[in-house]
Amino acid sequence: MRKETTVNRPIGRAARSDQARIARFDRRSAFKAFACSLLLACGMSAGEVHAAGGVAASDQGAGHRVNIRIVAGSTTMAATMDDNPTARDFVTQLPVTLTLRDLDSAEKVSGALPRRLTEAGAPARDAGSQGEIAYYAPWGNIAFYRGQGPDAAGVITIGRITSGIEAVNQQGQLTVTISRAD
């Protein structure tokens, strides 16, 4: 009976470094997938997971600006969302219908959104300006600026109206339906 023997031959330096790099990549990818799943299971939004360094399936549009359509009666406004976690989180709630009311001469505001948006990476305060769309974190609502707004804590700019702004200049309540344009 003959015994089989194996000869351990040293692998070349390049092959060893490739194997080590692949092993590190596989471990990192597996950990990242596990961490993203855990964060989503704990109730974080896709935007918050993305901001934490993961990429969730619902964040597929991240990395570019999203065009939206805002319909108010027979008037259609066009807007472009900013590329930030709060704006991306808002896009995940579309389509949405909101009733806007006059807050002051500078803005129309909605009631609370169906779900609060992430504030990850947002500035502590901002002042909206004409044509901007912002999330007001303390109230969990959206503001459409028709003039210069006050500098306030919790204002996060999420987009800009590119056409049809005259619709938000009307006085009184306004019902709008917001959806993706692309």
- CATH code, 67-180: 2.40.100.20
Give me the mean pLDDT over the 14-33 stretch.
49
- H or E element, residue 126: strand 125-126
- H or E element, residue 131: none
Give me the mean pLDDT over the 168-179 stretch.
95
Cα–Cα nearest to 45, from 112, 115, 96? 115
- How confident is the model at residue 19, as a pLDDT? 53
* Boundaries of every domain in the chain: 13-59, 67-180
- Quick: pLDDT tens for 42-94: 555 444 444 444 444 334 444 678 999 999 999 999 999 999 999 999 999 99
Are residues 117 and 133 in contact, defined by beta-carbon separation less than 8 angstroms?
no
Q: Which residue has the tokens 């990395």?
A: 63
Residue 98 has pLDDT above 90, yes or no: yes
